[in-house]
């Protein structure tokens, strides 16, 4: 048996977060510059609120940066700047629509309200980073999160507080504030799915018959999928909300695939959704109307139908066509001709004035944000964190696909809003909470750990000032438990748990009353010997 003498490692340095600070300057330049161009395009001068708007946006970015420096110094340094840039572009477009409306006699103003929700979102994300020291704490509340999610989904159906707006009952009115509870329910369901799947992952992945090359689950293991399928259909039926139904069901199927790596779950999920969608389109008129608009938007009968016509969708398509490759420029288009141009159809508003080039740049920013979330899921060392980060990153990507897919007629129009960009306090606040959770998980993922690396001696520093400390086999800490779950959380080993190279664990003979860096003899043992310890 080989014996390895460990040596003292250099102390881990606290990250400077200089990259984040530099990217924040660029992000603020994008948002503030867009707001200035809106004023020049419409008023030939900067907007009246330019100075307070600029100072407020800078203050929010600085607060977020300082909180991360203090409480999460190892967190990802790209997420916050990307979100600040997207949020700034959304605020600029909403302000452009407000100013354009005021020039033709409208008195509505949405930008100030959106800025208020942006401030609340930044504060909420900072609170998550500040008070949630370890994301694994959320695992204890998995089933509580499930109950909270179900309550949030059902709130719009309660008499007195539920509101029916444009045919969909997805809003609640509390103390003169309108909220969309489903936006917060997606976070609760992501926590529940992660906790449930990290516990039952082996059963879902390995048990069950094989049919046509697909590893099918047992009937009793289909229970959670059937429940979520039923809940999605209930939202679709009673609340008439196709977008939320797609969001919840897609989230669960995606997290099932991440946890088990079984393509059969994707096939089963898509099959169940297809059956539910066909039945809903055949039975419920509001779903059938969405399908007609999707398939025949230019049909005169469908175009002029009220309510439920295709005028909004066709207007958005003409707006995108008017934008062309480079766009008409800030303030030079006609996005106000499309209903809900600042919320549901803000994508077409941006496309008309920024063109295809601008839309692709925005989509690349979303792509970077989702990639950083998935990278966090890969890097974190516990199974619950992997599933939670993966689910939260996926739900942003999935929501973006559902929104843009509906506007561009890839799928039926759903009514969801673009994260961070579109007007809507519930969506903005909920997505800032998602960013707060991802930043907390990324800090734990990147923080130096004393856990052994497979095949190597554990000589990592446990903190900014500690030396190297080999890990003894005899004490199995919570990090060690989570590390075991992390290896099993994303996909089972084909053919058994030990098909790959044996896991090697460090055993250290520590001197009694040791002070400073430990220098005891260390050896590497394999899994067979570990079982006898």
For 488-514, the pLDDT digits (tens) are: 454 444 444 333 333 344 444 444 343
Backbone angles phi, psi at 17, to 5 degrees: 60, 30
CA–CA gap between residue 190 and residue 437 (Å, rounded): 11
- 234 vs 151, residue with greater confidence: 151
**Helix orientation angle between 425-446 and 111-131, rounded to the nearest 10 degrees:** 30
Q: Is the pLDDT of residue 373 over 80?
A: yes
First to last CA, the chain: 16
Nearest-CA neighbor of 285 among 304, 312, 305? 305
**Can you tell me the distance from the alpha carbon of 353 to that of 326, in angstroms, rounded to the nearest whole number?**
8
Element (H, E) at 530: helix 527-530
Q: What is the pLDDT of residues 402-427, one digit of tens each?
A: 999 999 999 888 878 899 999 988 99
pLDDT at 517: 38
Percentage with pLDDT > 90 across the chain: 44
Please check whether residue 411 is in contact with residue 446, taking contact to mean a CB–CB distance below 8 angstroms. Answer: no
What is the number of other CB atoms lying within 10 angstroms of the CB of residue 326?
11
Whole-structure pTM over 0.85, yes or no? Answer: no
pLDDT at 468: 42
Side-chain-side CA neighbours of 374 within 13 Å: the count stands at 14
Which strand ranges, in their side-by-side order, compose the sheet holding 3-4? 3-4, 521-525, 505-509
Gyration radius of the chain's alpha carbons: 26
- Average pLDDT for residues 210-219, to the nearest whole number? 67
pLDDT top residue among 12 and 420? 420
pLDDT (tens digit per residue) in 82-112: 999 999 999 999 999 999 998 888 888 899 9
Q: DSSP label at 6?
A: -
d(CA 35, CA 206): 54
Task: Look at 117-126, 262-271, 429-438 and tell me which has the smallest mean pLDDT.
Answer: 262-271
DSSP 434-494: HHHHHHHHHHHHHS---SPPTTS----BSSSS--B-PPPSS---HHHHHHHHHHHHS-PPT
The reported pLDDT for the residue numbered 280 is 77
Q: Compute the half-sphere exposure of residue 78: CA atoms within 13 Å on the CB side of its CA.
A: 12
Coil, strand or helix: which one is 270? helix
pLDDT greater at residue 169 or residue 398: 398
Q: What is each CA distance from 527 to 32, 77, 317, 505, 507, in whole angstroms?
A: 57, 37, 61, 8, 12
Give the model's pLDDT for residue 518. 38
pLDDT greater than 80 at residue 316 = yes
The residue written with tokens 């199974």 in the block is 383
pLDDT of 150 above 90 = no
Q: 251, 182 in Cβ contact below 8 A?
A: no
- State how far the Cα of 159 lies from the Cα of 295, in Å rounded to an integer: 35
Question: What does the pLDDT look like over 113-125, one tens digit per residue?
Answer: 999 999 999 999 9
For residue 173, the Cα-to-chain-centroid distance in whole angstroms is 25
- The alpha-helical segments, DSSP class H, found in 47-140 are 50-71, 79-103, 111-131
What is the average pLDDT value for the chain, to the nearest integer?
A: 80
């Amino acid at each position: 048996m080989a014996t390895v003498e460990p040596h003292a490692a250099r102390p881990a340095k606290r990250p400077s977060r200089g990259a984040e600070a530099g990217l924040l300057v660029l992000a603020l330049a994008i948002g503030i510059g867009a707001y200035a161009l809106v004023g020049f395009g419409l008023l030939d001068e900067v907007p009246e609120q330019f100075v307070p708007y600029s100072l407020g946006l800078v203050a929010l970015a600085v607060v977020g940066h300082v909180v991360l420096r203090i409480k999460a110094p190892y967190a990802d340094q790209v997420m916050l700047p990307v979100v600040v840039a997207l949020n700034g572009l959304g605020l600029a477009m909403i302000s452009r629509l407000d100013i354009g409306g005021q020039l033709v006699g409208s008195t509505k103003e949405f930008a100030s309200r959106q800025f208020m929700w942006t401030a609340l979102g930044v504060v909420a994300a900072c609170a998550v980073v500040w008070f949630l020291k370890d994301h694994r704490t959320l695992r204890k509340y998995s089933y509580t999160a499930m109950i909270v999610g179900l309550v949030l989904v059902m709130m719009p159906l309660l008499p007195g507080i539920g509101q029916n707006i444009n045919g969909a009952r997805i809003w609640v009115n509390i103390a003169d504030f309108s909220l969309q509870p489903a936006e917060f329910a997606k976070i609760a369901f992501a926590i529940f799915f992660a906790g449930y799947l990290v516990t039952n992952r082996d059963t879902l992945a390995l048990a069950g018959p094989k049919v046509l090359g697909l590893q099918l689950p047992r009937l009793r293991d289909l229970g959670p999928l059937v429940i979520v399928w039923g809940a999605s259909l209930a939202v679709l039926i009673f609340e008439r909300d196709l977008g939320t139904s797609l969001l919840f069901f897609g989230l669960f199927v995606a997290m099932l695939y991440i946890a088990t790596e079984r393509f059969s779950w994707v096939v089963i999920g898509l099959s169940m959704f297809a059956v539910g969608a066909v039945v809903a389109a055949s039975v419920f008129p509001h779903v059938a109307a969405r399908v007609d608009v999707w398939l025949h938007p230019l049909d005169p009968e469908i175009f002029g139908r009220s309510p439920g016509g295709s005028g909004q969708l066709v207007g958005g398509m003409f707006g995108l066509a008017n934008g062309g490759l480079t766009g008409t420029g800030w303030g030079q288009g006609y996005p106000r001709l499309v209903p809900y141009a600042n919320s549901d159809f803000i994508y077409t508003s941006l496309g008309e004035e920024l063109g295809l080039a601008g839309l692709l740049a925005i989509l690349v920013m979303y792509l970077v944000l989702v990639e950083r979330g998935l990278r966090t899921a890969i890097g974190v060392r516990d199974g619950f964190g992997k599933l939670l980060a993966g689910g939260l990153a996926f739900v942003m990507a999935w929501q973006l696909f559902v929104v843009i897919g509906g506007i561009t007629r890839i799928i039926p129009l759903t009514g969801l809003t673009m994260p961070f960009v579109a007007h809507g306090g519930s969506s903005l606040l909920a997505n800032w909470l998602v960013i707060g959770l991802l930043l907390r998980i990324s800090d734990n993922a990147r923080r130096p750990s004393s856990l052994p690396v497979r095949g190597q001696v554990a000589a990592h520093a446990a903190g900014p000032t500690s030396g190297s400390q080999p890990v003894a086999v005899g004490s199995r800490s919570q990090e060690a438990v989570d590390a075991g779950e992390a290896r099993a959380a994303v996909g089972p080993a084909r053919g058994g748990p030990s098909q790959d190279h044996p896991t090697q664990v460090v055993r250290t003979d520590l001197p009694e009353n040791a002070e400073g860096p430990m220098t005891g003899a260390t050896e590497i043992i394999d899994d067979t010997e570990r079982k006898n310890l």
